[in-house]
Amino acid sequence: MSNIEFSIDDKKLEALPGETVLKAALRNGIDIPYLCYHPCLSIAGNCRICLVRIKGRPGFHPSCNLPVAPGMEIESDCEDVSAVRKNVMQFITLNHPVDCPVCDKAGECKLQNYHFKYNGSASLSIDAKKHKPKFYDVNERILLDAERCILCSRCVRFTHEISKSGMLGITERGQQSRVEHLESGAAKDDYSDNIIQNCPVGALLSRDFLYKSRVWYLEPVASVCNGCARGCSVDVWRRKHHWKVRALGSEKNRMAYRITAKQNDDINGRWICNKGFDLNKQINDFASRATKPAIGGMDATCQDALSEARKLIFEAKKPAAIVSAHASNEELEAFKKTLGSRVEVYVRKDYEPAAGEVVEDELLIKADKNPNSTKVEELFGKESFSAAAGHDLVLVWGDNVEYSALSGAKIIHLATQKPNGNPDVLIPISTQFERKGSYTNFEGKVNRFEQVFDKPELVLHASDVFGRL
């Protein structure tokens, strides 16, 4: 079928067959306001802020639910439509507290933007605002400020159409209406934090991020979730350079304040699981971080640790290496080029499903809890280390290694976390968030991540270590 010709504000456009006016407008860069509409959810048409006028027809029409027809002439930016939107905003904010200065969504709230753009005045109602429950427990991760909720139903539709938990519904009628748990719905939803990100107002609040920082102090850095072989795109939110703390609390400059899903239609669409939203806890775990080189359990300089490791490899009669499925594509290729022919290489998956963790589902979560098993196995095969092979030296690259399984061999450990014991040589290496790189996910799709933070002073990049051994 051919495209449909129509116009918005006298601008000639083409819509795809079956496309709505709002979708066609957004695709062509025309800004029509919307709150309840979401491209991945069914159309609710209940916020009415996207009303437009059709020349030759009476009344106003919600553009999110209006299919484009040939020759249709739409008016979206005229005096009449602006007056209607002002009235809609008056209705939407009738019981909304409009407490933008204290709201966690301030700075990225669509309601706040539309309020100033289309309304710009206080409520005309002389009646007191209807107060609804504050900080209603949605689950152990999310609070609902029902006073700020505009009943757009995005969260409800997400739990029914995407995560399929059926966790939420809208109860009661009129000004008593509110989002609550459904009695028959499951309380657990492994994708529940997506409703925080997709709430267009500050109604759904993350317990983890609440009151931690204002969003204008932060900036997102593109990264990849390392929680499973899906390798979802995420944004890691760090403090902006010109807002860095210079006095007490300097550790805040190295904190990941929150994680949000980054749209990647080839890998994860617009969603990530709750484990991805918890990536900031892994980044902020400074206590477990390996930051100092060591020889036999004693602190050492980087140069001494590298010299000792080089000596051990030179003296070894049957050296081996265990490479990590958490290493990046670039690091794995550097290892193969410099050390791959000098030692026997085995592969290892650093992480297995934890107790109570979802092993795999039909949406995003994969059973392999490592981000780069595909590339590791492509370069080095699938063989696991065996103590029976009789190696007298093992270069361990990765975390969560039990030295007892290495059968008394001398150990050189390249780790991001403090090991469970004292290897002969410990060389701390940078984490994924302290360097650039890429992973290859289970479908063979390469996903790049950017550097979020500088590495600690005595930590080395693994790719710089291999050529010095």
- What end-to-end distance do the CA atoms of the chain give, in Å? 63
- What one-letter code names the amino acid at 75? E
173 Cβ contact list (under 8 Å, min separation 6): none
76: left (phi over 0), alpha (psi -120 to 50) or beta: alpha
Instruction: Report the C-alpha gap between 330 and 451 in whole angstroms.
Output: 14
Strand, helix or coil at 415? strand
Q: Tell me what pLDDT residue 184 has.
A: 63
Task: Take residue 388 and report the two structure tokens written for it.
Answer: 């029976």
Distance CA 6, CA 78 (A): 18
**Do 418 and 429 form a contact (C-beta atoms < 8 A)?**
no
Write the CA distances from 108 to 47, 208, 262, integer angstroms: 18, 18, 15
Of 346, 359, 353, the residue nearest 405 (C-alpha): 346
Structure tokens at 213: 């920082």
CB-hemisphere CA count at 13 Å for 348?
A: 22
Read off the pTM. Answer: 0.93
Per-residue pLDDT of the chain (469 residues; tens, 9 = 90+): 689 999 999 999 999 999 999 999 999 999 999 999 999 999 999 999 999 999 999 999 999 999 999 999 999 999 999 999 999 999 999 999 988 999 999 999 999 999 999 987 888 888 888 899 888 999 999 999 999 999 999 999 999 999 999 999 999 898 889 999 887 655 689 999 999 999 999 999 999 999 999 999 999 999 999 999 999 999 999 999 998 888 777 788 999 999 999 999 999 999 999 999 999 999 999 999 999 999 999 999 999 999 999 999 999 999 999 999 999 999 999 999 999 888 999 998 889 998 888 899 999 999 999 999 999 999 999 998 888 888 999 999 999 888 988 888 999 999 999 998 899 999 999 999 999 999 999 999 999 999 999 999 999 999 999 989 8
User: Residue 212: what pLDDT?
Assistant: 92
H helices within 28-171, ranges in order? Answer: 79-92, 110-114, 154-161
Q: What is the DSSP string of 307-355?
A: HHHHHHHHH-SSEEEEEETTS-HHHHHHHHHHTTTTSEEEEE-S--PPT
Q: Are 362 and 336 in contact (CB under 8 A)?
A: no
Position 55 scores a pLDDT of 94
Q: For 217, how many CA atoms within 13 A lie in the half-sphere containing its CB?
A: 16
Task: At 153, list the tokens.
Answer: 């139903």
Q: How many CA atoms lie within 13 A of 388 on its CB side?
A: 1
How far is the C-alpha of 33 from the C-alpha of 26, rounded, in Å? 10
Measured between alpha carbons, how far is 84 from 63 in angstroms, rounded to an integer?
Answer: 14
pLDDT of residue 252: 87
Residue 163, token pair as written in the block: 């995560």
DSSP string, 395-407: EEESSS--GGGGT
Q: Are 445 and 267 in contact, with CB atoms under 8 Å apart?
A: yes
Q: Are 358 and 228 in contact (CB under 8 A)?
A: no
If one counts every other C-beta atom within 10 angstroms of the C-beta of residue 42, the result is 10
If one counts every other C-beta atom within 10 angstroms of the C-beta of residue 278, the result is 15
CA distance 61 to 63: 6
How far apart, in whole angstroms, are the C-alpha atoms of residue 165 and residue 156? 10
Any residues with CB less than 8 A from the CB of 427 and at least 6 apart, and which? 293, 302, 305, 306, 309, 412, 413, 414, 415, 460, 465
Residue 148 DSSP SS3: coil
* pLDDT value, residue 389: 84
Q: Are 462 and 429 in contact (CB under 8 A)?
A: yes
How many residues in total does the chain contain? 469
Predicted pLDDT at 228: 97
Pairing of strands 344-348, 178-181: unpaired
141 Cβ contact list (under 8 Å, min separation 6): 192, 193, 206, 207, 208, 274
Specify the pairing of strand 319-324 against strand 344-348: parallel
Give the integer Cα–Cα distance in Å for 49 and 51: 6
CB 80 within 8 A of CB 50: no
- Structure tokens that stand for 41 in this block: 């959810």
